[in-house]
A = this chain, B = another copy of it.
Amino acid sequence: MDTEWLDETQLDAWVKLVAVVELLPGALDHQLRRDSGLTHFEYFVLAMLSEASDRTLRMTALAQRTNATLPRLSHVVRRLEERGLVERRPCPEDGRATNALLTDAGWAEVVAAAPGHVATVRRHVIDALTPAQVGQLAEIAEALLERLDPDGHMRRR
């Protein structure tokens, strides 16, 4: 194993990034659970559906957009269905496939949860940075995603 160590600056950046990556999901989850009874991941799933045409997506497509494995998504969608936020129906064109579609109740849930979520994002991230830094962050994250997610599943426009 070719062990090139990290220099002072790199180590500093890395340690801080790890801390952020460790803390941020918890902060998001906490607020959403408290105010809306949703996991951040569940919210994300609902949000992706809400943006899709007919509020419908195939499970596979939804899994890619949310970076979930299919088993994980399957479980989550089942729970969301039990809560009446999502409906599952077989895909007419492909007998193997399942379409997940956002119900009216699910739509309402997203709409209700969004403001609080956005406020949290502002408070924890956006407002902590200068406008210039927001731009830098986008570029940095983009560069990282080219390594972490080469196929670009999570950055479809």
Residues of A within 8 A of B (CB): 1-6, 9-10, 12-25, 27, 44, 67, 114-116, 118-119, 121-126, 128-129, 131, 133-149, 154-155
- Minimum distance in angstroms from A73 CB to a CB of chain B: 13
- CB-based nearest B residue for A22: B67
Cβ contact within 8 Å between B155 and A16: yes
For A131, the chain B residues whose CB sits under 8 A away are 9
> Of B19, B114, B129, B148, which contacts A143 at CB under 8 A?
B129
For A5, the chain B residues whose CB sits under 8 A away are 118
Cβ contact within 8 Å between B13 and A21: no
Known: A3-B118, A115-B3. A23 touches B148 (CB 8 A): yes
Extra 13 A-B pairs, beta carbons < 8 Å, given A14-B126, A129-B140: A4-B119, A9-B135, A14-B125, A18-B44, A20-B141, A20-B144, A22-B154, A23-B67, A27-B148, A125-B147, A129-B144, A133-B136, A140-B140
